[in-house]
Amino acid sequence: MGPASASSVCDSTELLDSLSECLLSASVCKGVLFAGLTGQAAACSTIALGTVFVSVQGYEWVQLISFGLTITSSTYGGVFYLIIGAHGLHVIGGLLALLACLRRLNSTSQQLTIDNLRAAQIFWYFVVGVWPVLYTLVYLL
């Protein structure tokens, strides 16, 4: 799989990721308790898909570096790694927030509140929503 294919996989995982996050939100809004299977499954699938996204991005970076695109090889390389790297760090931050929500979801001492979940979701939706813009700017233009 080349870098272009890896980017397509990332697009697919981001779309599925946002759909599973919507399912988690819907299970909360409809009063399904967080400890229910729907909330846990949605949180786990969101975290899994986000992890796939970061892994595929890492694979893409290794491929691009092997083709000679590095931070110092060109202005494009520097801008590419800066922009996509910043996004990747935000994805990892979002995954950590979602993992904290999942931990609280399964905890009896620290219950997950709607405010905790909403904060993580808003951040996650922003990270997912920024990706199509970055993809267009970096890969298509």
The pLDDT of residue 11: 55
The pLDDT of residue 34: 45
The pLDDT of residue 33: 45
- Per residue in 4-21, pLDDT tens? 555 555 555 555 555 566
Residue 60 has pLDDT above 70, yes or no: yes
The pLDDT of residue 123: 92
> Tokens 């080349």 sit at which residue?
2
> Tokens 């991005």 sit at which residue?
57
- Per residue in 83-140, pLDDT tens? 999 999 999 999 999 999 888 877 778 887 888 888 988 998 899 889 889 988 888 8
Q: How far is CA 105 from CA 81, 115, 123, 134, in A?
A: 35, 13, 18, 32
Tally the domains of the chain: 1
Token digits of residue 25: 């939100």
Q: Among the listed ranges 26-30, 36-40, 122-126, which one has the minimum average pLDDT value?
A: 26-30
Residue 30 has pLDDT above 80, yes or no: no
User: Cα separation of 138 and 112, whole Å?
Assistant: 37
Containing structural domain, residue 43: 3-140
Rounded-to-10 torsion of CA 76, 78, 82, 84: 40
Q: Which amino acid is at 53?
A: F
The pLDDT of residue 7: 57
Q: What is the CATH number of the domain that holds 41?
A: 1.20.120.80
Q: Return all residues near 91 (Cβ < 8 A) that are at least 6 apart.
A: 50, 53, 54, 57, 127
User: Cα separation of 69 and 111, whole Å?
Assistant: 46
